[in-house]
């Protein structure tokens, strides 16, 4: 029954989205792939044979039931309302609508029920937010969290397919003794680390950091949650690593944390101290789960209320494409979503 | 007057040490270079012509006044006492003696006076400690620090010259489509991030993290200082980047912090929000200063007592070689150090 459109089909997230849809055998009746004029005309191998990428236009959604958007916020702002008017449900990977009151911001492991009350657009949170939130939520449910200090080690893929290509070519340049010349990212990324390439607000926090704060609060339904982020990029392809220092309202033991995280959905503990095996980008690349490890009590917080850990999740997968497809899977035939689609009869 | 020996002269720190000694025109009468049997016999260009690297042995220090050690803790444990007995003053870059009560642990910008009371051995702190401490100390002097959460983005050079070579060759392998095979480091370093490659203690903290806690307390002379570190390696050559979240006893404004850090020795502020220019490994590589930026108040700590920032410092330079030479420069002819050397007459 579902005629599915993928907007931004040739980008980093769009490419992963096609991969996840195929792997999970998403029950689509048909697919249409859209991209910018630059990519239009490209032939892409698909489940039932090759598909031609079309240029996105105002009438792209005339025969679409479900549209995945991952072409940036400005494209979403322009075309998602058109898709909705044409009768499609939009699952948006951009930041365009995330903080809108009537747009559910959904991580299925956390707030699946939120999909019930959408107005035609549902938003996928920021990748860094998702990877942190799936770890924090199961802890927060049992031991309310007071404050989190988070430092990210973010992959280059978050800046898109062209940035990923720049990482490779620039790294080759440096190895060959040529100076690194940035074109896509603002500073050289090869063998470098840099503050996240989003604008800085008056409070000194960049947009990525502000997203982690505001989105986590919205998803958790808790406006008092205190999050102090530092978002940095590292020369890694597609997995975000994050170091979390968590202060709880009440004491928590290391064993508590291991039991909670060990049974939480979407997580896998990788925490072998003897072998020094912990979450890394290489371990998490291409995986659905977010890896968690280095779990330890933080003695600098009184009364046993502190915990530190690291986590690593595939930014393109759970951080974007997989989470989007999981949302689509929640919108089953009997859901409020499809009710809305059919409208009053 | 000073006959100087460099132990570990061909290693990553030893190579940088020779460079710093030459650049600063260190007032040495003569130099002797020592290394393991593997490197013995190598000819190295030096200020006054080429020098031959000798194999380290029990009589290497017979005519030496000052010996820089950077060949690892076990070499220091074996040979530094011999050097001292032979009459030399030892400046040790290893962890062997750092926590010994009668060994000064010195960052000249912080506790220069500590060099006055040594017993023949002075220790250079761990690189991550130095880079954090030069930033924290000027703030701590004015606004006492209660707690620091620090996440490191550590360079590969800290694991030695062979690890650095592995970063290059392994990165080339990955770019060529070959699997990354670690030989020196425990996990692949190319396009990866991993928990610091030191053993993990029972408390869950690795040795690098424990050093940051214990050494900073010793240098600051404050056993109550609370530090919660997460030490990670990133595919970067020789600069450690660190993200600090600092809780003070009393309120501090962003302007306070900028004024203090802007006039503190050994620091340079790089904090251009409009241009997104902040400390990076590439900016700090080969520089003496530790760069500081992303200075912002942390609203998750009540009463304006929170501050966040990042810093980046050359691990081989201020993190090791430069700091060692600065200690040597403090040991001037009139100092207690040289008094001890001459002994009672």
Q: Give the residue-averaged pLDDT of B154-164.
A: 93
**Range in A187-201, B36-50, B255-269, B279-293 the model is least confident about:** B36-50
Q: Give the residue-averaged pLDDT of B295-316.
A: 98
The answer to whether A127 is a known catalytic residue is yes
Strand duo B226-230 + B267-269: pairing: unpaired
What is the C-alpha separation between A168 and A252, in angstroms, rounded?
Answer: 43
Q: Is the pTM of this model over 0.90?
A: yes
In CATH, the number for domain A128-316 is: 3.30.360.10
Residue A294, Ramachandran bin (φ over 0: left; ψ between -120 and 50: alpha; else beta): left
Closest CA to B269 of B315, B311, B323: B311
ipTM for the assembly: 0.94
Sign of CA dihedral A235, A239, A243, A244: positive
Residues of A in contact with B203 (CB under 8 A): 296-297, 299
Helix (H) or strand (E) holding A45: none
pLDDT over 90 (residue B344): no
Rounded to the nearest 10 degrees, how much is the dihedral formed by the CA atoms of B300, B305, B309, B313? -140
Homologous superfamily (CATH) for B128-315:
Dihydrodipicolinate Reductase; domain 2 (3.30.360.10)
- Residue of chain A whose Cα is closest to the Cα of B306: A228
Strands of chain B, DSSP E? 2-7, 28-35, 43-44, 51-52, 54-55, 66-69, 89-92, 121-123, 145-153, 194-195, 226-230, 232-233, 239-248, 267-269, 290-297, 306-314
Task: Check B295 against A204: CB less than 8 A apart.
Answer: yes
Residue of B230, B233, B255, B283 to mutate, testing the A interface (most A Cβ within 10 Å of its Cβ): B230
Task: Check A180 against B296: CB less than 8 A apart.
Answer: no
pLDDT over 50 (residue B286): yes
**Residue ranges in chain A whose pLDDT is less than 70:** 1, 332-345
What is the C-alpha separation between B316 and B160, in angstroms, rounded?
Answer: 10
**Are B261 and B147 spatial neighbours (Cβ–Cβ below 8 Å)?**
no
Rounded to 5 degrees, φ, ψ at B312 are: -145, 130
- Any A CB within 8 A of B188 CB: yes
Task: Check A187 against B282: CB less than 8 A apart.
Answer: yes
**Are B224 and B213 spatial neighbours (Cβ–Cβ below 8 Å)?**
no
Token reading at A305: 């209320």
**Are B319 and B284 spatial neighbours (Cβ–Cβ below 8 Å)?**
no
**Are A239 and A315 spatial neighbours (Cβ–Cβ below 8 Å)?**
yes
Comparing CB atoms, the residue among A175, A200, A273 nearest residue B172 is A175
Q: Give the residue-averaged pLDDT of B86-92.
A: 97
Token reading at A18: 């096609």
Pick among 1.20.140.10, 3.90.650.10, 3.40.50.300, 3.40.50.720: CATH of B2-125+321-342:
3.40.50.720
- The residues facing B148 across adjacent strands are B227, B246
pLDDT over 50 (residue B233): yes
Which ranges constitute the DSSP H helices of chain A?
12-23, 73-85, 108-111, 127-142, 161-175, 207-220, 254-263, 281-284, 322-330, 336-342
pLDDT of residue B343: 40
pLDDT of residue A172: 97
**Three-state SS for A117?**
helix
Token reading at A74: 């400005």
Structure confidence at residue B38 as a pLDDT band (50, 70, 90): very high
Rounded to 5 degrees, φ, ψ at B7 are: -100, 125
Residues of A in contact with B228 (CB under 8 A): 245, 298, 300-301, 306, 308
**Range in A280-289, B221-230, B290-299, B328-337 the model is least confident about:** B328-337
Residue of A165, A243, A252, A312 to mutate, testing the B interface (most B Cβ within 10 Å of its Cβ): A243
- Any A CB within 8 A of B191 CB: yes
- The residues facing A310 across adjacent strands are A243, A293
- Any B CB within 8 A of A203 CB: yes
Token reading at A3: 């005629």
Structure confidence at residue B47 as a pLDDT band (50, 70, 90): confident
What is the C-alpha separation between B114 and B103, in angstroms, rounded?
Answer: 9
pLDDT of residue A1: 55
A and B: number of Cβ contacts within 8 A: 161
Task: Please report, for residues A108, B66, B217, B323, the alpha-carbon distance to residue B341 in angstroms, rounded to integers and kept in the order given.
Answer: 70, 10, 29, 22
What is the C-alpha separation between A176 and A85, in angstroms, rounded?
Answer: 53
pLDDT of residue B53: 97
Helix (H) or strand (E) holding A193: none
pLDDT of residue B46: 83
Domain boundaries, chain B: 2-125+321-342, 128-315
Task: Check B276 against A151: CB less than 8 A apart.
Answer: no
**Which pLDDT tens digit goes with each residue over B97-118?**
999 999 999 999 999 999 999 9
The answer to whether B127 is a known catalytic residue is yes
**Are A185 and A166 spatial neighbours (Cβ–Cβ below 8 Å)?**
yes
Q: What is the mean pLDDT of chain B?
A: 94
Closest CA to A60 of A38, A90, A103: A90
What is the C-alpha separation between A116 and A35, in angstroms, rounded?
Answer: 29
Q: Give the residue-averaged pLDDT of B154-167.
A: 94
What is the C-alpha separation between B161 and A279, in angstroms, rounded?
Answer: 25
What lies within 8 Å, CB to CB, of B317 at 6+ separation is B16, B20, B238, B286, B287, B288
Task: Please report, for residues A127, A146, A168, A253, B317, the alpha-carbon distance to residue A141 in angstroms, rounded to integers and kept in the order given.
Answer: 21, 12, 41, 15, 46
What is the C-alpha separation between B49 and A265, in angstroms, rounded?
Answer: 66
Sign of CA dihedral A262, A264, A265, A270: negative
Task: Please report, for residues A115, A324, B212, the alpha-carbon distance to residue A338 in angstroms, rounded to integers and kept in the order given.
Answer: 11, 17, 56
DSSP letter assigned to residue A120? S
Comparing CB atoms, the residue among B192, B230, B282 nearest residue A281 is B192
In CATH, the number for domain A2-124+321-342 is: 3.40.50.720
């Amino acid at each position: 029954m579902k005629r599915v459109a993928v907007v931004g089909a040739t980008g980093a997230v769009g490419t992963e989205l096609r991969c996840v849809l195929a792997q999970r055998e998403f029950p689509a009746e048909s697919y249409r792939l859209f991209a910018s004029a630059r990519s239009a005309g490209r032939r892409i191998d698909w489940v039932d044979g090759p598909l031609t990428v079309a240029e996105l236009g105002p009438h792209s959604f005339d025969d679409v039931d479900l549209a995945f958007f991952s072409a940036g916020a400005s494209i979403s702002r322009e075309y998602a309302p058109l898709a909705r008017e044409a009768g499609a449900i939009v699952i948006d990977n951009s930041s365009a609508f995330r903080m809108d009151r009537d747009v559910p911001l959904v991580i299925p492991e956390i707030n699946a029920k939120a999909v019930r009350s959408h107005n035609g657009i549902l938003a996928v949170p920021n990748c860094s937010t998702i990877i942190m939130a799936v770890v924090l939520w199961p802890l927060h449910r049992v031991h309310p969290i007071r404050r989190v200090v988070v430092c990210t080690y973010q992959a280059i893929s978050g800046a898109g397919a062209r940035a990923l290509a720049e990482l490779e070519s620039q790294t080759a340049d440096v190895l060959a003794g040529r100076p690194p010349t940035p074109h896509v990212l603002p500073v050289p990324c090869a063998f470098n680390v840099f503050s996240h390439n989003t604008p800085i607000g008056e409070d000194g926090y960049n947009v990525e950091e502000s997203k982690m704060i505001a989105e986590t609060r919205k998803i958790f339904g808790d406006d008092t949650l205190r999050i102090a982020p530092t978002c940095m990029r590292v020369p890694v392809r597609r997995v975000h690593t994050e170091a979390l220092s968590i202060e709880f309202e009440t004491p928590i033991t290391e064993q508590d944390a291991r039991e909670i995280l060990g049974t939480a959905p979407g997580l896998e503990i990788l925490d072998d101290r003897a072998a020094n095996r912990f979450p890394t980008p290489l371990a998490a690349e291409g995986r659905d789960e977010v890896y968690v490890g280095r779990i330890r009590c933080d003695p600098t917080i009184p009364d046993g209320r502190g915990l530190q850990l690291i986590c690593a999740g595939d930014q393109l997968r759970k951080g974007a494409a997989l989470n989007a497809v999981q949302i689509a899977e929640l919108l089953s035939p009997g859901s409020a979503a499809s009710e809305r689609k059919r409208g009053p009869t």
